[in-house]
Amino acid sequence: MSRSRRTALPRRRVRHAALAGTALLAAALTACSGGSGDGADGGGKAADAKNKAPMAVSVNLTDGQVKSGEPVKVTIADGKLAQVKVTDGKGGELAGQIAADGKSWTSGRNAAPNTDYKVEAQSTDSQSAGTQFKTSAADKVNKVSINVAKGSTVGVAMPVSLVFDNPVKNKAEVEKQLKVTTSNNTEGSWGWFKDYSGNDRVDWRPKDYWKSGTDVKVEMNLNGVDSGPGGGLFARDYTTEFRIGKDRRMEVSLDTKKMSITEDGQVVKTVPVSAGTPGGEKASWSGKMVLMSKEGTIFMDSQTVGLGDSYAKMVDYSMRLTWSGMYVHAAPWNDDKFGKTNASSGCVGMSNANAKAVYEQAQPGDPLEVVGSGSKGKADLGNGYGEWNLQWDQWKAKSALTGATQAG
- Rounded Cα distance between 244 and 242, Å, is 7
> If pLDDT is split at 50, 70 and 90, which confidence band does 281 have?
confident
Task: Please state the rounded mean pLDDT for residues 165-169.
Answer: 98
Residue 40 in domain: yes
CB 290 within 8 A of CB 366: yes
Say yes or no: 231 and 327 in one domain: no
> If pLDDT is split at 50, 70 and 90, which confidence band does 298 have?
confident
State the total domains in the chain. 3
Q: Is 329 one of the catalytic residues?
A: yes
State which residues form the domain around 348.
Answer: 248-377
> Which residue out of 171, 329, 337, 396 is catalytically annotated?
329
In DSSP terms, 104 is beta-bridged to: 75
Q: 16-53: per-residue pLDDT in tens?
A: 333 333 333 333 333 332 334 444 454 555 555 555 66
Say yes or no: 260 and 279 in one domain: yes
Residue 278 in domain: yes
> If pLDDT is split at 50, 70 and 90, which confidence band does 61 have?
confident
Q: Which residues lie below 8 Å from residue 10, measured CB to CB, with a gap of 6+?
A: none
Residue 286 has pLDDT above 70, yes or no: yes
User: For 397, how many CA atoms within 13 A lie in the half-sphere containing its CB?
Assistant: 5
CATH (domain of 104): 2.60.40.3780
- From the number of C-beta atoms within 10 Å of its C-beta (0-12, 13-18, 19+), residue 253 rates as middle
Element (H, E) at 354: helix 352-361
DSSP 211: P
User: What percent of the chain clears pLDDT 90, i.e. is strictly above it?
Assistant: 71
Q: 206-263: per-residue pLDDT in tens?
A: 999 999 999 999 999 999 999 999 999 999 999 999 999 999 999 999 999 999 999 9
CB 373 within 8 A of CB 284: no
Residue 404 in domain: no
Which of residues 133 and 339 earns the better pLDDT score?
339
Say yes or no: 234 and 270 in one domain: no
Q: Look at residue 2 in the predicted model and tell me its pLDDT.
A: 40
Residue 89 has pLDDT above 90, yes or no: no
pTM value surpassing 0.85: no
> If pLDDT is split at 50, 70 and 90, which confidence band does 302 have?
low
> Which residue out of 27, 158, 347, 381 is catalytically annotated?
347
Q: Look at residue 39 in the predicted model and tell me its pLDDT.
A: 45
Mean predicted lDDT score pLDDT of the chain: 86
Say yes or no: 112 and 151 in one domain: no
The pairing of beta strand 22-24 with beta strand 178-182 = unpaired
Q: Look at residue 53 in the predicted model and tell me its pLDDT.
A: 67
Q: Look at residue 343 in the predicted model and tell me its pLDDT.
A: 94
Task: Please state the rounded mean pLDDT for residues 76-101.
Answer: 92
Residue 1 in domain: no
Say yes or no: 161 and 205 in one domain: yes
User: What percent of the chain clears pLDDT 70, i.e. is strictly above it?
Assistant: 82
Q: Is 347 one of the catalytic residues?
A: yes
At residue 103, what is the residue type? Answer: K
Rg (CA), the chain: 32
Say yes or no: 238 and 252 in one domain: no
Q: Look at residue 365 in the predicted model and tell me its pLDDT.
A: 98
Q: 115-146: per-residue pLDDT in tens?
A: 999 999 999 988 998 888 899 999 999 999 99
Task: Please state the rounded mean pLDDT for residues 99-106.
Answer: 95
